[in-house]
């Protein structure tokens, strides 16, 4: 990747506090918007990039990054559809990271669990063991970022279905809020903490 400008980082890097900007092209964003508008009308989204088998593996990884427990995880959020759509549009140039990762994955599985090759067929603890072994790879870093982006971006991008990601965080989907917003700005608590200075 010699030319930093031709690259759109799917793996986020946070700048220092003043600015957190990641780079992507204008044209691919417009593609993405058109694609999203089309996809959102379909009940069962079609896959644009992955085969069903590949999607099963990717979804299995995503659901170890944000597992399902007493609340929905990456699987229920439809993160796989977000990733597939992104790779078809604005994150097109990240596709090789996924195809290479998917190509390697059966070997990573087999190294640890002889006779096995499908990540999605492993038990959760076994899956975690495989992921720990590839935790430092670009594939896993990109998967982690893509899973978070799919969990917490607007549902129009394919993931965060019914805002399950936002609900997990305590982020309400509303255009306005009325104070107090939390514990500290509740007047009685503020007075208790600050005394006469409140």
Partner 1 sequence: MSAAQGRATGQGTPRRQYATTDAVDFVVVGSGAAGGSVARELTRLGHSVVLLEQGKAYTRGDFHHDELEIVLNNKYANLPPAHVQTYRKVPDARAERRHYLLYAMAVGGSSMHYAANYWRFRPGDFNEYSRRGGVPGAALADWPITYDDLEPYYTAVEWAIGVSGQGGADPDEGRRSRPYPMPALPVTGPGVVLEIAAKKMGWRALPAPMAINSRPYKGREACHNCGFCWNFPCEWGAKSGTNFTMVPEALASGRCELRSECKVSRIETDDRGRVTGVVYFDASRTEVRQRARAVFLCANGAETPRLLLMSSSSRFPNGLANSSGMVGKHLMFNGNTGAGGEYEHEVNGHKGPPVTRIVLDTYDLHDKGFAGGGGFDFRYPFPPILSALSMPPDVPQWGAEFKQTMRRVHTRAVQCWGHTTSLPVPTNAVDLDPEAKDSWGLPAIRVTFKEHESDMQMYRYMYDRGIELLKAGGALRTWGTPPGDDPGIAVHLLGTCRMGNDPATSVVNAAHRAHDVPNLFMVDGSSFVTSGRGQPTLTIQALAFRAADLASRAAKRGELG
Regarding 26 and contact with partner 1 (CB under 8 A), the answer is yes
Q: Does 196 bind partner 1 (CB under 8 A)?
A: no
112 binds partner 1 (CB under 8 A): no
Q: Is 34 in the site for partner 1 (CB under 8 A)?
A: no
Place of tokens 């379909």: 42
Convert residues 68-107 into a mask of x (bound to partner 1 by CB under 8 A) and - (unbound).
-x-x-x----------------x-----------------
DSSP string, 63-81: HHHS--SSS--HHHHTHHH
Among candidate residues 60, 38, 68, 39, the one with its CA nearest the CA of residue 159: 39
The answer to whether residue 66 forms part of the interface with partner 1 (CB under 8 A) is yes
Among the residue ranges 41-49, 52-60, 94-102, 168-176, the one whose residues contact partner 1 (CB under 8 A): 168-176
The distance from CA 119 to its chain's CA centroid, rounded to whole angstroms, is 19
DSSP letter at 137 equals S
6 binds partner 1 (CB under 8 A): yes
Q: Report how far residue 98's alpha carbon sits from residue 118's, in angstroms, rounded to the nearest whole number.
A: 16
Question: What span, in angstroms and rounded, lies between the C-alpha atoms of 91 and 81?
Answer: 13
Q: Which is nearer to partner 1, 50 or 153 (CB)?
A: 153
- Which residue of 42, 115, 177, 188 would you call a contact of partner 1, by CB under 8 A? 177
Token digits of residue 62: 């995503």
Beta carbons within 10 angstroms of residue 65's beta carbon: 18
What is the 8-class DSSP label of residue 177? -
The binding site for partner 1 (CB under 8 A) comprises 3-6, 8, 12, 14-26, 29, 32-33, 64-67, 69, 71, 73, 90, 128, 131, 144-145, 148-149, 151-154, 156-157, 165-166, 168-171, 173-179, 181-185, 189-190, 193-194, 197-198
């Amino acid at each position: 990747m010699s030319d930093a400008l031709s690259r759109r980082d799917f793996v986020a890097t946070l700048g220092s506090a003043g600015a957190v900007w990641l780079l992507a092209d204008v044209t691919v964003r417009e593609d993405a918007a058109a694609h999203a508008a089309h996809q959102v009308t379909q009940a069962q989204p079609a896959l644009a990039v992955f085969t069903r088998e590949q999607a099963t593996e990717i979804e299995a990884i995503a659901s170890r990054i944000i597992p399902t427990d007493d609340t929905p995880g990456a699987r229920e959020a439809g993160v796989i559809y977000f990733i597939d759509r992104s790779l078809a549009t604005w994150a097109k140039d990240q596709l090789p990271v996924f195809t290479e990762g998917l190509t390697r994955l059966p070997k990573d599985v087999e190294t640890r669990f002889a006779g096995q090759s499908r990540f999605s067929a492993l038990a959760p603890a076994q899956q975690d063991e495989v992921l720990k072994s590839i935790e430092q790879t670009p594939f896993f870093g990109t998967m982690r970022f893509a899973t978070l982006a799919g969990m917490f971006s607007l549902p129009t991008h394919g993931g965060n279905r019914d805002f399950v990601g936002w609900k997990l965080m305590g982020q309400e989907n509303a255009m306005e809020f009325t104070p107090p917003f939390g514990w500290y700005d509740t007047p009685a608590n503020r007075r208790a903490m600050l005394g006469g200075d409140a």
